[in-house]
Amino acid sequence: MKKAISTDKAPAAIGPYSQAIEVNGLVYTSGVIPVNPETGEIPEGVEAQATQVFVNLVNLLQASGTSMENVVKTTVFIKDMNDFAKINEVYAKYFTGVYPARSCVEVARLPKDVLLEVESIATK
C-alpha cells in the first residue's frame, strides 16, 4: 500500500505527482528544487540554491516521518558540472556518518530554470 506525503514546508508539486510516496517502509521523494515554500522565490547563486534544496528536503523527510540520517540514495541533477564542488560542500553539511549512495548528472534544463534538483530514498 502506498501513501502520498505532502507538506507546505517544501515546494508544492507543479504537476501530476506527489511530493513523496511511502511504501514498504521506504520514502521516495520527487525531485526537490530550491523554491522557498513561504515566498515562492528562488535564491540567487548555486550555494544558496543548494542550501534551499536541502532545507526543503529535510522538511519533506520530516513530514514523511523520517530524516536525512535515514537517506540511503540520492540523485542530484545539476545544470552545470562546474558547480559540482560547490554543491558538494553544501551536500556534506546535511549528511552525517555514512553518506548515502548517490548519482549526479548534468542536465540541459530544470524546472523553473533552477541550478539543481535532488531526489532521495530514505528508510523509515
pLDDT at 73: 98
φ/ψ region of 112 (left if φ > 0, alpha if ψ in -120 to 50, else beta) reads left
Q: What is the mean pLDDT of the chain?
A: 97
Total residues found in the chain within this entry: 124
Where in the sequence numbering do the catalytic residues fall? Answer: 104
| pLDDT higher than threshold 90 for residue 25 | yes
The single-letter DSSP state of residue 32 is B
User: Mean of the pLDDT values across residues 27-31?
Assistant: 98
| pLDDT higher than threshold 90 for residue 107 | yes
User: Mean of the pLDDT values across residues 2-20?
Assistant: 95
| pLDDT higher than threshold 90 for residue 97 | no
Q: Are 33 and 111 in contact (CB under 8 A)?
A: yes
Q: Coil, strand, or helix at residue 61?
A: helix
Which of the four pLDDT bands, split at 50, 70 and 90, describes residue 31? very high
User: Mean of the pLDDT values across residues 96-115?
Assistant: 96
CATH T-level assignment (fold) for domain 3-123: 60s Ribosomal Protein L30; Chain: A; (3.30.1330)
pLDDT at 91: 98
User: Mean of the pLDDT values across residues 36-55?
Assistant: 98
pLDDT digits (tens, 9 = 90+) for 82-96: 999 999 999 999 998
